[in-house]
Structure 1
C-alpha cells in the first residue's frame, strides 16, 4: 500500500504549556480533504497528513487523525499546503475554503488535467484572500483552467510551468493580478506574442519572468515598461528578432538574461548590453547558425558578470575585447564558438574567483597556464586542436580542480607527476590524445578523491595499477585503446568501490588473476581485444556482474555447466575458441538483455530455462558449429529484437512459431549519457546554478556521469555491419538465418513480424514462392532472399514496402516480369541476376519478344543463303590451316639448317622421345 504525504505548515500565534486546542474549522477541513483525496487516489493508497509549526516540529497533541502538531501551541492557522500525490487527476478547490489563512498552495507534479469545482467555480481561489504563492507546475492543465486561476488576485508568485498551455502569450483567458512578482510559464506550448501592448506589460511589479522551452517567435515591444524586471529567461524558443536591437530594448534593471537555443542569426554587438548596468548572468546561443560578433568600441561596460554562456559564436580571436574588463566571473562557458589561438590564460588572471571554464569544441591550438595559483574547479578544453605536452606544473597551478577534461586533442608526452597534488580531483578525462609512457607514481598514489578516470585511446604502457596504486575512491576506470601489456596489478584491489573496469584493446596477455573475485563492487567488466587466454574464468561467478565482455581474446574450452550470473545484463564472448554447449544456467539471469557468442565453436544449446530470460532482446550466435534443427524453444524468447543464427549448419524448416516472437516489443533504456566503450567524453560535468529573486548563484558542483553504460549491438544488415545503441537500438529489429542448410518454404507466418527492419534468409535451400505476407512488414528496410531455390513470380505487393532500402533475390528460380512500380524499380540489376526466367527492368530481357511471320519463299531463300555461307566458311577454314602448316614447317627447317646450335638442341630433345616410343 502506497503512503503519500500531504505537508502542512502551521503558523501558531500563542504558546502555552500542555495540550493544544485546534481550530475546529481547520480540523474538519483537513479530515474532509483527507477523505476526498483518498477517494481519488489511483491506485488505492493512503493519505498521510503531516504538519508542523514554525517554532517546534515535535509533539503530538491535537488528537487529529494522523496529524501531529506542537504540544505548545494554540490557535493554529494553516499557511502552507503541499499536495504532491503524483496520480490525482482533479482537485475540488472548494475543499480549501476551510483554510482562510492559506498563503502557499503547492499542487505541483500531480499530472492533474483539470480543476473540478462545480459549486463555487472560479471563485474557489477568490476566497483565499491571503494566498500569495500558487504552484501548479508539472500537471496537464490546458487553457480551460485559466478562468479559475484568474480569480486568485492576491498572488505574488504563479508557477504554471510544465503544463499544456497553448496559443499566444499571454494566454487568452488568463488575467494576471497586478501585484504579481514572479511568473513561470516554462515548458508549455505558447507561441507568438502580440508586438504591441500586451497583458504582461501592465505588471509593474513583475521581477521574474520565465518563458523558456516554449515555441515563441517574438516578444512584445512593451517589455521595456517592466522597470522592475530582474530575471528574464527566454531560452529554448524560436525567437528570430534582430538580436542587438532586441537586447538593447530590454528593461535596464535586468540581472539575469538567458537567450540560449533560439533562432537568432546574423550579428551581435556586446555594446547592446551597455544599458544593463546590473547584469550578472548572460546566456546566448543560436540553433540555426553561427552568430557573428560585431567589432566593439572601447566602451568599458558598467556591469560585472558572474556567469557567461556563449554557444555557436564565430568568435575567432575576438573574445578579448569583451572579457578584458570582467573581473568577477564565476562561470564561463564559451563552447562551439570557433575560438582560435592559445588558451586565454589572462581570463583566469583577471578573474581570481572563477570556478568553471568550459571552452570545449573550439579551435584552440595552444595551452597556456596562468602565472598564479588558481582556485579553478572545472576545466574543460576537450575537442580542440591543442598539440602541446601538458605543462609539468599544472597540478601546482590548479590544486583545487574537481573536473578536468582534456579529451580529443593532440596532447603528447607523459602525464605530469604534479597531478598528484590535485587532491580534490573527482573526474579526469584525457582520452583520445597521444599521451605515452607510464602513469606517474605520484598520480596513482595520491589522488584519493578520484572517482572517474578515462585515459582511453592513447599510447600509455606498463602495468595496470601496480601495487603502489592507491586510488581508494575510484569507481570508473577506462584504459581501453592503449599499449598496456602487463597483467592487472594488485593495486586495483585498493579501489574497493570500483564499479567499471575497461581495459579493452590493449596487449594484456595470460590469464585473469585469481584475486579478481575480491573486487566485490565490480559490475561492468570490459576486456575485449587483448591476448588473454585459458578457460572461462570461473572466479567471475563470485562477482555481481552486470556486463561481461571478454570477446576477441583466446579463451578456449567449454563453459561451466553451472555458470550463474543472477543479475547479468550483457554477456559477450564472441571471437574466442569456446566449444561445447551453451549452458542452460545462463538463461536463468532474468535481467539478461544481450548474449553475443559469435565466431566460436559452440555446437549445442540446452534451452530448458530459456523462458526465464524474459528480458533477452539480442541473441547473436553467428559462425558457430550448430548442426541441428532450429530449436522451437527459441520462440519462447517472446521479447527478442535481434536474432542472428547465420553461418552455421542449421537444417530443416524455419519454425513457424517465430511469428510468436515480437521483434519490436523490447524496449531498451535510452537514458544513457555515458558509454564506457564509445567515449567517456560524453559525460558532462554540470554546475548547478539556482537563480532566485535574491540573485543567488550556487556554486555547488555536481557531475553528470550516468551510472548505467549504454548497450551497443553490432548487426549485419544491408551486407554491412552497423553499430546500434541508445534510441537507434530501440527501433532496430532483425532476423538473420543466412548461410545455413535450411529447406522447405518460407512460412507465411513471417508476415506477423510487423516491426522487423532487417530479414536475411539468403544462402539456404529454401523452395516454393515468396509469400505475399512479407508485404505486411511495413518497417522492413533490408530483405535478402538470394542464393536459394525459390520459384514463381516476385509478388507485386512487395512494391508497397516504402522503407525498403536493400532488396536481393538473385540466384533463385524466379520467373515472370519484375513488378514495375514502387521501390522495386530502384534496385540495380545485381539484385535480380541468376534467375534465368525473370524479365523486365532493370534486366535487359524483354517479357514480350517481337515475332513477325515471314513469306515461305523468302524464308527458303534465306535458309539457302545461310547454308551457302556455311560452305564458304569451311573452305576458307581448310585453306587457312594448310597455309599455317606449310609456313611453320618451312620456318623450322630453315632454323635447323642454318643454326647448328638449334639443330643439336632439337635432336637432344626429340631423340629420347623417339627411343621411348620404340621401346613400347
Structure 2
C-alpha cells in the first residue's frame, strides 16, 4: 500500500509491532518524505543503502529497534536532515565519515549501540548541532578537540564509553552554550578543569564513574548556580563538602557517593537546600552525628547515608521526610532505638539500617505501618524481633516481593532457641540479634 502513496511527506508508525525490514525497502522511492519515524518497533536486520535516496528527509528516527550491521554511508546523502536518531539498536563498527556531510543536523543520537573507534575528526562540520548523544558505545581515546567547533551544543552525552585522559579545558572555554554535560562512566582522570566554571547555563553536570581527583571545587557552587542535577559519584574526590554548594538553590539531585570525602554533614544541607529529592552520599568517610535539620528536606524520595562513620542516635526529625521511598543508614555506628516517627513513613519501599548498634523491638506492627515497604535490612544490630509464627511474615506483614533480612543469633528454622511466650493466644517467636553477627536469616516473598 505504501508504494501507491507517492506524495507521502510524513510517516509515523512508531510504537507498533512491525518486525519486517521490507517496510524500509518499500519506502526507498518516496523521495518526498520529510519526516520518517519508525522508532520503538521490533524491526531488525541491516539498513538498506537505498535509504540514501530519501534526500528530502528532515527527521529520521529508527530508535529502539533491533537493527544491526554497519551504519550505511549512504545516509550521508540526506543533507536536509535536522534530526537523526539510531539510538538503542545494535549497530557496529565506526561512525561513517559520510555523516559529516549532514551539515544541517541539530540532533544526532547514536546512543546504546556497539559502535567503536574514535569520534570522526570531520564532526567539526556539524556546526548546527545542539544535541549530541553518543552514550553507551565503545568509543575510546581522548575527547577530540574538533568538538570545540560545535558552538551551539546545549546537550552533550558521552557517558558509558572508554574515553580517557583529563577533561579538556576547551570544554569550558568553547562550549559555553551547554546546559547538560554527561561524561559518566568513562576513564577521565586528573583534576576538574577550572574552565568548566564558564558553563553558566548548565543545569545538569554528570561526571560520575571516572577517576577524577582533588577536592570538589568551590566554583561549582559559586558559578554554576542553575544546577539541579550534580553527579560526582564513584571518583577519587577528597576533603570536606565545600560550603559553596549551599548556593545551588534549585539542586534536586546530588550524588557524591563512593569517594573519599570526610568531615561531618554540614548544617547548611538541611537549612539552605530544601529542594532535594535524591541525595546520595554513601560510601565516603563522613563522621559525627546526623544533624536534626535533615528533617527539613521534606521532598526527599531517595536518601543514602550508608557506609560511613556516623555515630549518635537517629534523629526523630527524619520521620518528617514523608516522601521517602529509599532510605539507607546501614554500616555506621548509630545507637539507640529507632524513632517511632520512622515507622510512619508510609511511602517507604526500602529501608536499610543494618550493621549499626541499634536496639529496641521490631515487630509486625511496625511493618504494618510501613504500607509500601518491600525490603527491610536489619542485620548486625541488637534488635528484639517479634512476629506471629502462624503468619510466617507473609500473611499479614508480608506483601508480594517483600524481603526482610536480619542478623540473628540463630537461623529462623532453629526453633529450639525461640521464645513462644505471648500475652495473646497466638504464638510469637522472639529472638535476639546481639550474640552472633555472622549468621544471617532471610525471608523472601513469593
Structure 1 counterpart of 2:374: 805
Cα distance between partner residues in 2 of 1:493 and 1:472: 10
Structure 2 counterpart of 1:717: none
3-state SS in 2 of match to 1:582 = coil
Contact map agreement 2:327 2:351 (CA 8 A) in 1: yes
Instruction: Find 2:125's aligned residue among 470, 474, 477.
Output: 470
Cα distance between partner residues in 2 of 1:574 and 1:546: 17
Structure 2 counterpart of 1:351: 5
Structure 2 counterpart of 1:647: 283
Seen in structure 2, the aligned counterparts of structure 1 residues 842 and 775 have a Cα distance that, compared at 3 Å, is farther
Structure 1 counterpart of 2:419: 846
Structure 2 counterpart of 1:584: 243
Structure 1 counterpart of 2:362: 794
Structure 2 counterparts to residues 227-306 of structure 1, below 5 A:
none
For the pair 1:775 / 2:343, whether they are aligned, the reply is: yes
Seen in structure 2, the aligned counterparts of structure 1 residues 842 and 782 have a Cα distance that, compared at 3 Å, is farther
Structure 2 stretches of 5 or more lacking a match?
Answer: 423-446
For the pair 1:746 / 2:319, whether they are aligned, the reply is: no
Please give the per-residue CA displacement for 1:725-753, whole angstroms capped at 9, x wherever unaligned: xxxxxxxx133333333334333333333
Seen in structure 2, the aligned counterparts of structure 1 residues 843 and 389 have a Cα distance that, compared at 3 Å, is farther
Please give the per-residue CA displacement for 1:844-885, whole angstroms capped at 9, x wherever unaligned: 713339xxxxxxxxxxxxxxxxxxxxxxxxxxxxxxxxxxxx
For the pair 1:632 / 2:299, whether they are aligned, the reply is: no
How many residues of Structure 1 are paired with residues of Structure 2 in the alignment? Answer: 408
For the pair 1:453 / 2:111, whether they are aligned, the reply is: no
Please give the per-residue CA displacement for 1:606-634, whole angstroms capped at 9, x wherever unaligned: xxxxxxxxxxxxxxxxxxxx2x4433333
TM-superposed CA distance for 1:389, in Å, is 2.6
Instruction: Find 1:531's aligned residue among 163, 173, 187.
Output: 187
Structure 2 counterparts to residues 882-897 of structure 1, below 5 A:
none
For the pair 1:764 / 2:343, whether they are aligned, the reply is: no
Instruction: Find 2:208's aligned residue among 526, 529, 551.
Output: 551
Structure 2 counterparts to residues 670-819 of structure 1, below 5 A:
733-794=301-362, 797-798=365-366, 799-815=368-384, 817-818=386-387
Seen in structure 2, the aligned counterparts of structure 1 residues 535 and 845 have a Cα distance that, compared at 3 Å, is same
Structure 2 counterparts to residues 174-213 of structure 1, below 5 A:
none
Contact map agreement 2:254 2:278 (CA 8 A) in 1: no
Structure 2 counterpart of 1:378: 35
Contact map agreement 1:356 1:377 (CA 8 A) in 2: yes
Structure 1 counterpart of 2:430: none
Cα distance between partner residues in 2 of 1:805 and 1:825: 10
Cα distance between partner residues in 1 of 2:416 and 2:275: 41
Contact map agreement 1:465 1:490 (CA 8 A) in 2: no
Cα distance between partner residues in 2 of 1:406 and 1:440: 17
For the pair 1:426 / 2:82, whether they are aligned, the reply is: yes
Please give the per-residue CA displacement for 1:507-553, whole angstroms capped at 9, x wherever unaligned: 22222333322123222111122222221122211223222222212
Structure 2 counterpart of 1:571: 230
Cα distance between partner residues in 2 of 1:581 and 1:762: 21
Cα distance between partner residues in 1 of 2:169 and 2:384: 63
TM-superposed CA distance for 1:819, in Å, is 6.3
Cα distance between partner residues in 2 of 1:833 and 1:558: 37
3-state SS in 2 of match to 1:382 = coil
Please give the per-residue CA displacement for 1:115-145, whole angstroms capped at 9, x wherever unaligned: xxxxxxxxxxxxxxxxxxxxxxxxxxxxxxx
Contact map agreement 1:464 1:486 (CA 8 A) in 2: no
Contact map agreement 2:157 2:182 (CA 8 A) in 1: yes
Contact map agreement 2:375 2:404 (CA 8 A) in 1: no
TM-superposed CA distance for 1:428, in Å, is 0.7
Instruction: Find 1:826's aligned residue among 380, 393, 398.
Output: 398
3-state SS in 2 of match to 1:411 = strand
Structure of larger gyration radius: 1
Seen in structure 2, the aligned counterparts of structure 1 residues 457 and 769 have a Cα distance that, compared at 3 Å, is closer
3-state SS in 1 of match to 2:25 = coil
Structure 1 counterpart of 2:433: none
Seen in structure 2, the aligned counterparts of structure 1 residues 452 and 534 have a Cα distance that, compared at 3 Å, is same
Cα distance between partner residues in 2 of 1:391 and 1:385: 17
TM-superposed CA distance for 1:830, in Å, is 6.2
TM-superposed CA distance for 1:582, in Å, is 3.2
Instruction: Find 1:409's aligned residue among 65, 69, 72.
Output: 65
Cα distance between partner residues in 2 of 1:417 and 1:478: 19
Higher RCO (C-alpha under 8 Å, 6+ residues apart) = 2
TM-superposed CA distance for 1:485, in Å, is 1.8
TM-superposed CA distance for 1:478, in Å, is 0.6
Structure 1 counterpart of 2:154: 499
Instruction: Find 1:658's aligned residue among 285, 294, 306.
Output: 294
Give the superposed CA RMSD.
3.3
Structure 1 counterpart of 2:435: none
Cα distance between partner residues in 2 of 1:765 and 1:437: 51
Cα distance between partner residues in 1 of 2:216 and 2:315: 34
3-state SS in 2 of match to 1:501 = strand
3-state SS in 2 of match to 1:419 = helix
Instruction: Find 2:47's aligned residue among 387, 390, 393.
Output: 390
Cα distance between partner residues in 2 of 1:370 and 1:840: 66
Structure 1 stretches of 5 or more lacking a match?
Answer: 1-322, 324-346, 603-625, 665-732, 850-920
Please give the per-residue CA displacement for 1:328-364, whole angstroms capped at 9, x wherever unaligned: xxxxxxxxxxxxxxxxxxx1x3111111222333232
Instruction: Give the TM-score, by structure 2 length.
Output: 0.79
Cα distance between partner residues in 2 of 1:433 and 1:630: 43
Structure with bigger strand share is 2
Structure 1 counterpart of 2:137: 482
Contact map agreement 1:812 1:835 (CA 8 A) in 2: no
Cα distance between partner residues in 2 of 1:598 and 1:350: 58
Contact map agreement 1:817 1:847 (CA 8 A) in 2: no
TM-superposed CA distance for 1:652, in Å, is 4.0
Instruction: Give the TM-score, by structure 1 length.
Output: 0.41
TM-superposed CA distance for 1:402, in Å, is 1.3
TM-superposed CA distance for 1:430, in Å, is 1.0
TM-superposed CA distance for 1:795, in Å, is 5.8
Seen in structure 2, the aligned counterparts of structure 1 residues 589 and 825 have a Cα distance that, compared at 3 Å, is closer
Please give the per-residue CA displacement for 1:467-491, whole angstroms capped at 9, x wherever unaligned: 4641232111111122222433344
Structure 1 counterpart of 2:168: 513
